[in-house]
Structure 1
């Protein structure tokens, strides 16, 4: 049996309204049918009203509990979990950026400072020029690291070229850095159909999916599809790696898995979309996110 998880959704308002109407009608009908069997003293208006209110309260109390109170409590708890997850993810992202700044940019700047001191103390012009060329390379490396960090914080390619180009570049970078080929199928009809926040969320979902593949899947190939299906936009990422652990379904339900999969699911839910994470037919993992266009404008 394939491991699979769907994003949690509350009870549909229309379905709840219809169910309450049906139960109310059944309660009132039951009361009316019981009236002819009541003793004469119970046929006064005051007693009938009291009996009506009592029976209706006894019938509707559990209905209100199950259809209103319990979903609201569940929704409040779920909102707290989402908020906690986002705050935790935010703190971890800040820690990662701090480490990158310290380990990469900090070291490059230190090398520049030391190198400038060496240039200042150079005995002749050729020696200073040689040191300056080395420092120029150090500066170029630091510049690339700054661009990489900036791209991680805000993918400017989304604003400049759009979602399709950003996805293509992300897949190309993944192939270059990890040596795993990516087959991309992106429909041009997606361009211009989403708001920038929705495009950013889809971009981050793909980014997180590819990151999980690089860290855990040991995959030999990846297939990415981005298409518009009716009034929905669908993104799917399939790899041929190790697949999901046997307890992934329960772990996702408990929200006890890593922040990667939780982040994907939470981003989909924020757009009122559907998120499916399951074992793929190829033996790897499939992540499929579908969001409605009506929620993305």
Structure 2
């Protein structure tokens, strides 16, 4: 603005010296004044644009930092959850397992020592109840902390998980396509993929009424892609009881991934997760 004003004054002075007419001089002054105002306005606009750009960059960096902090917190929560599950499963195995075994032994001793029909019948019932409790406890332990997560590779653990649902025995065709050349290095991603597939197959088993289900795990565009599809009745997030799927969805988003559910012609869930979790390297 200042520079254009100085240039304008110089041009007017030169025009007067060369004898330019009054009307022409007036037009020149108006033109230069207009240009000066435009220059000032442009300068203000550029300044405001730079200020806005700085503010946007500041908020962008703040948002990225908050998202990163959320991802790191989610990772810590996932590890804490898995550690708690592992500890609880070990405690249940040690305490309840030993007590159930003791009950079964005592019931067998009663059956062998007694000759009272009612006592023998009661001992048999106690033994059967203990067997059922033992079976239920084992199932609970597998859900809390499947040993395959510690003993097998991701490929083997997921195949084992699919087989546990025994789809073929119920006339449901299940296809599992594992295409990862190498498993994720992050334990958080391994835990998340296992829990996701567990929850999704559980919903297929209980709610989908499907005759076919397919599972695909691959890497695409630097993303881990898990896709579970069935030809059942097609269910939405609102139709699924409990908070399992919603919790998984929130976990995926917190890790920087995407969760998509389609319910036309069956149900199709697509999960994309980053192959590497930023700055955590677990």
- Cα deviation, 1:139-195, whole Å, max 9, x if unaligned, reads 222222222222222222121122222222322232359936252333364554443
TM-score (norm 2): 0.57
Bigger radius of gyration among the two: 2
Residue 273 (structure 1) aligns with: 257
Secondary structure of the 1:294 match is coil
Within-5 A mapping of 1:214-293: 214-229=205-220, 231-245=222-236, 259-279=243-263, 283-293=265-275
Count the aligned residue pairs.
Answer: 225
Q: Does residue 1:58 correspond to 2:48, yes or no? A: yes
Secondary structure of the 1:183 match is strand
Runs of 4+ in 1 over 6 A off after TM superposition: 51-54
1:170 alignment partner, one of 161, 166, 183: 161
Residue 36 (structure 1) aligns with: 4
Deviation at 1:273, TM superposition (A): 2.9
Residue 34 (structure 2) aligns with: none
Question: What is the CA–CA distance in structure 2 between the aligned matches of 1:279 and 1:75, rounded to whole Å?
Answer: 35
> Could you tell me whether the CA contact under 8 Å between 2:167 and 2:173 is conserved in 1?
no
Question: What is the CA–CA distance in structure 2 between the aligned matches of 1:123 and 1:259, rounded to whole Å?
Answer: 50
Q: Does residue 1:197 correspond to 2:185, yes or no? A: no
Deviation at 1:225, TM superposition (A): 1.3
> Could you tell me whether the CA contact under 8 Å between 1:168 and 1:184 is conserved in 2?
no
- Cα deviation, 1:198-238, whole Å, max 9, x if unaligned, reads 11100111112123334443323211112344744321100
2:128 alignment partner, one of 122, 132, 137: 137
- RMSD, aligned α-carbons: 4.9
Secondary structure of the 1:241 match is coil
- Cα deviation, 1:120-142, whole Å, max 9, x if unaligned, reads 9x852887666545433322222
1:69 alignment partner, one of 59, 62, 65: 59
| Gaps in structure 1 of 5+ consecutive residues | 1-31, 41-50, 252-256
- Cα deviation, 1:38-84, whole Å, max 9, x if unaligned, reads 787xxxxxxxxxx99965553244445555438857986995xx98x
- Asked which structure has the greater RCO (Cα within 8 Å, sep 6+), the reply is 1
> Could you tell me whether the CA contact under 8 Å between 1:236 and 1:286 is conserved in 2?
yes
Question: What is the CA–CA distance in structure 2 between the aligned matches of 1:294 and 1:185, rounded to whole Å?
Answer: 24
TM-score (norm 1): 0.55
Question: What is the CA–CA distance in structure 1 between the aligned matches of 2:151 and 2:45, rounded to whole Å?
Answer: 64
